[in-house]
A = this chain, B = another copy of it.
Amino acid sequence: MASHRDERPAGQQQAEEPAEGLPPDERLGMDIKRAEQALIAAKQLAVRPAGLTVPQYAALFALADNPGISGAALARTCLVTPQAMTVVLKNLEERGLVERSPHPWHRNVLETRLTEAGHAALATADARAVRIERALADEFTPEERAQLRKLLERCGAAIGRAAAGL
């Protein structure tokens, strides 16, 4: 498509385009974004038949590893705002997939844990979602996997550093 490039007469150039200043060859953001987009799209296809959205699946997954975690802590784990997690948990509770009960000691905290149905739903969704992860894992050798993980970790560190000093 688009054989038309952004032809701009070099005469009146009130703002040079930094997009051209940084060659696409060095733009890694696009690659990361593309991979994550493919991942989230595939996961959505995977968990939808189980009646779950991706955020709901993520919450159930984290909840299975940390039973009794608070809503705010769960939100941090899933990288969403506490309010968004509240809505997710409300929906999950209405459908009987999670259970919330006041904490014995901290009356202000609501302990959240999976119900039997929640475990079942997670298992159903995960059975399909795992095929995505499995395909991902099988694509690489253990060395490549470790390599990729390390590179991504450095990405996150570099991004965080840049964002802090923005």
* B interface footprint on A1-44 (CB within 8 Å = 1, 0 otherwise): 11011101000001111111110001111011111111111110
Number of A positions contacting B (CB below 8 A): 83
The complex places the Cα of A114 from the Cα of B85 at a distance, in Å, of 37
Q: Does A102 contact B (CB under 8 A)?
A: no
Of B32, B126, B127, the contact of A35 (CB 8 Å cutoff): B32
Q: Collect the chain B residues with CB atoms within 8 Å of residue A16's CB.
A: 64, 123
- What chain B residues lie within 8 Å of A46 (beta carbons)? 163, 166
Task: Tell me whether A107 is interfacial, beta carbon within 8 Å.
Answer: no
Tell me if A154 counts as interface (CB < 8 A to partner B). Answer: yes
CB distance from A67 to the nearest CB of B (A): 6
Are the CB atoms of B20 and A65 closer together than 8 Å? no
Cβ-based interface call for A76 (8 A): yes
Binding site for B on A (CB under 8 A): 1-2, 4-6, 8, 14-22, 26-29, 31-43, 45-46, 61, 64-70, 73, 76, 79, 116, 119-120, 122-123, 126-128, 130-140, 144-145, 147-149, 151-163, 166
